[in-house]
Structure formats: C-alpha cells, structure tokens
Amino acid sequence: MKLTYPTTAAPAHASALTSTLYVWLFTNLGGTAQLVAGFGLAEPADVKVPLLIGLVAALLSLAAVPLAVPVFALAQRACTGWRCRLTALAGVLLAFAGANALLLYGLPLGSPASLLSLTWPYLAAALLTVAWLYRPRLAAKRLSRPAPLLSTWRQRAGKAAPAYLAH
C-alpha cells in the first residue's frame, strides 16, 4: 500500500463580499483601537470619545459596504501578482478620500488636518487589512512520493517485524 500526502487545493481568495466585510470590520476595529490607545495615553478620562467616534465610523462606513463590493470583485478578477493588491489598495485609498471629502462637506469638523488626525488610524488599519487579505500565497503541490514519516513505519518487503510489534 502506497501512502501519499493528502492533496489540498490552492488557496482561493474569499468572495468579494467577504473581503469587503473583512476590510470593514478590521478597519473599524483597528482604527478605533488606535484612537483609544492615543486618547487613553494622553487623557485616560476621555476614552469614551474615541469609542463613540468608532461607533459612528462603523455605522457610517457600513452604508458604504455595498459600494465597495465591486472594487473587491474587480481586484479578485484581475488577481495576477501585484495587480489584485494594487487594485484593492487603490479602492481603499479612493474610498478613504471620498469619505473624508463627504465628512468635510457634510459635518462641521474643521480643517482637513484635524479630520485627518481622526481618520488616519482607519486608513492605516484598512491598508494593513488589504495587505493581509491579498498577501502572496503559495500553491500546495501534490507529491507522488510516499510521506517520509509513514514510509519509515511501513513494513519493508523481506524484513521481519521487530519483536515488540509482533503480537
């Protein structure tokens, strides 16, 4: 009996909706965590402020999830080498610029510099998430030779079994 390694398919990317939801979730968690850490170090009594900012950011950005799904679908369709990563990164950067423009015109948040001080943690978390989702993956290869550990346990033709195995 010849034993071989189990075959595994090459790792596939998640669906476009799943990728979009991963980016949304990790962006909001990472951005809010960075804001909490920044505010908590400067003024521990004001930790509720970044939590409220994170909640509002999560709710507002959830409305943009359906708009981002086509970007990640395009990234997965064009996924050959660096093209899928660059497409996803460009989508994140465009969404970030669009969201900041809407916040500047829709809410009285002050100057673009003050807005950027609140939103850059979310951009950093989104870029890290896209880099993680679209990291290079090695395809698993099917090996036709016997597994090394199993072939040492297999009985060889013409050799007697050791005394402690013969029962």
> pLDDT at position 8, please?
42
Higher-scoring residue by pLDDT: 26, 13 = 26
**Does the pLDDT at position 7 exceed 50?**
no
Write down the pLDDT at residue 124. Answer: 93
Rounded distance between C-alpha atoms, residue 51 and residue 35, angstroms: 8
133 touches 139 (CB < 8 A): no
Q: Which pLDDT score, from 0 to 100, does residue 111 have?
A: 82
Query: pTM for the full model?
Result: 0.68
Residue 38, C-beta contacts closer than 8 angstroms, at least 6 positions apart: 50, 121
- Stretch 12-25: mean pLDDT: 82
pLDDT of 141: 52
- 126-159 pLDDT, tens digit each: 999 988 888 876 655 555 555 555 555 555 555 6
- End-to-end CA, the chain: 21
Q: Where are the domains of the chain?
A: 16-133
pLDDT at 10 over 50: no
**107 in helix, strand or coil?**
coil
pLDDT tens-digit series, residues 26-56:
999 999 999 899 887 888 888 888 899 889 8
The Cα 164–Cα 167 span in angstroms is 7
The pLDDT > 90 percentage for the chain reads 14
Please give the structure tokens belonging to residue 141.
């290869």
The top-scoring range by mean pLDDT among 6-15, 44-53, 73-82 is: 44-53
